[in-house]
Chains A and B, each alone.
Chain A
Amino acid sequence: MTLLELRDIEAHVDGVHVLRGVSLELAEGEFLALVGPRRGGKSTLLGALGGTVPVTGELRIEGETVGRPSPATMARLGVAHVPAGRVTFGSFTVADNLRLGAWARGGPLDNAYARVFELFPFLYDRRNRRSAELDAGEQRLLALARAAMARPRLLLCDEPSHGVAPAVGRDYFAALRQLNEWGATVVVAEQGGRPAPAEAGRALVVADGRVQAAPAPAP
């Protein structure tokens, strides 16, 4: 079943025409990697899906057109976006950071916490520590855990392994694979020039603001 559909998406960021007519379809349960050169439009595309980048064109979720995508609208529709870099609230505890991830969700969070702590046991041990006390890799994982708190249907991760130790990247992708098995559709943008991660079932090249052909399969 098609979860998400983009038609002729255009986006300008700071006066630069970044996305130049992107169309793509995403099936429910997919694990998609976006690869391609730096500044090709991968992050902007993720931002468009997460509602942080204003776009023109058509964005549909389960066939329903999303009129004015904003982060709040997209969060309510089950989209969670993990931007690149260190994005946790440093002065907040780990637990408060996680709670913020579930902002758009109503109801009790016990199950969401349980799942997240199952994925990342170290966060349970540090739940009352300020997130600024975690190292960069742990903060990266916390940002993913925070997104997982929303039990997203569509999880968008920007450059998850950029600038952290390889072990952190492996933990990150292992968690992504688990979340994908639990039902989340995953889109990962890898930093410029890197190949698609092994976990991805499909990869698309984004360059010059367009979705190019699928990359050549790894030898």
Chain B
Amino acid sequence: MSGAGAHVAAGLAAGAIDALLAVAIVLVRRASGVVNFAQAALATLSAFGCATLVAHGWRFWPAFAVTVALSFGGGLVLAGALVAPVRRGPVYGWTLLTVGLLLAVNGLDNWIWGPRTRPFAGPFSAHTIRLAGGAVSRRDLGTVVVAGAALVVVAVVGRSKAGLGLRAAAADPGAAHELGLGVGRLGALAWALAAALGAVAGVLAATAHGLDPTLLRSTLLSALAGAFLGGIDSPAGAALGGSTVGVGLELLATYVHGVGSSLRPVAAFAVLLAAILLRPSGLRGRWGRP
């Protein structure tokens, strides 16, 4: 049983990345009523940015901080450039736009960096330490800690004045507008926070698995499953749902013979399907309406 702790830790690390992405998806969904299918692709782009800085001799942490900040700014730009013009359009138009963005960003990654998987040495080694009677890799532990810190930052923002505005604009955009809140700007803030969270997820995933344009492809699916499991409009629920799905899939892949990494997306899809069928609240809200 000495391996169980390591597998749980690996699951928690994968779950932490799922949770970050799930929270990012929920933040955008609440603010704009749209599921941003490009969230994972944007996160991968951020990871490439960070890897490029490191390749140019930057130390990891400054590169990481700059990447997160640039991604935040990129989220603002994206909200201004893409979201504002189509805000009054139908939701399916938006949704198609995010799928298009996913493919476009993916193509851009391939064009600039190529499809080859490159190693990305993060700040945490793969060496194990003994923790609670089991052997846990430093990288898994570091991933959980960094992701947890990012989620704490988002929770703190959520309790600030800006966070109150974000929640109000999400709960009732019309009433928030009448109160004098800048609903458009708050929406842009949500996109920016989501992009920053995605950057953290992308960099953490790249340091664990190496970096290529398909880095977070199956993570998108498990993050969506986690977001729906948590009730698509609750960031806290998404964090919990995302980590649960991540841990579950990791343990499934470890202990159920035949479920390797290839079948991970299939399992994630099954969870997503179950979440949508069993948690109809996940479909309530603007996404499901014509």
Contacts and interface: CB of A to CB of B under 8 A. Distances in A.
A75 B161 contact: no
B279 to A, nearest CB: 18
Contacts of A103: 161, 165, 179-181
Interface in A10-37: none
Contacts of A99: 161, 164
Nearest to A147: B179
B231 to A, nearest CB: 13
A172 B171 CA distance: 26
A89 B168 contact: yes
A75 B177 CA distance: 11
Contacts of A71: 177-180
Interface in A39-62: 50-52
Contacts of B167: 92, 96
A91 B171 CA distance: 8
Contacts of A141: none
Contacts of A197: none
Interface in A58-105: 71-72, 74-76, 81, 83, 87, 89, 91-92, 96, 99-101, 103-104
Contacts of A87: 175, 178
Contacts, number: 45
A72 to B, nearest CB: 4
In this complex, the interface size class of chain A, counting residues with CB under 8 Å from chain B, is 20 to 34
A89 B180 CA distance: 14
Interface string B143-184: 000000000000000000100110110011001111111100
A52 B161 CA distance: 23
Interface string A201-213: 0000000000000
B211 to A, nearest CB: 41
A92 B181 contact: no
Q: Which of A71, A75, A83, A92 has the most CB of B within 10 A?
A: A71
B180 A76 contact: yes
Given A96-B164, A103-B165, A74 B180 contact: yes
Interface of B: 161, 164-165, 167-168, 171-172, 175-182
9 contacts: A50-B178, A72-B180, A72-B182, A87-B178, A89-B172, A91-B171, A100-B179, A103-B181, A146-B179
Given A71-B179, A101-B179, 20 more contacts: A71-B178, A71-B180, A72-B180, A74-B180, A75-B180, A76-B180, A89-B168, A89-B171, A89-B175, A92-B168, A92-B171, A96-B167, A99-B161, A100-B164, A100-B165, A100-B168, A100-B179, A100-B181, A103-B179, A103-B180
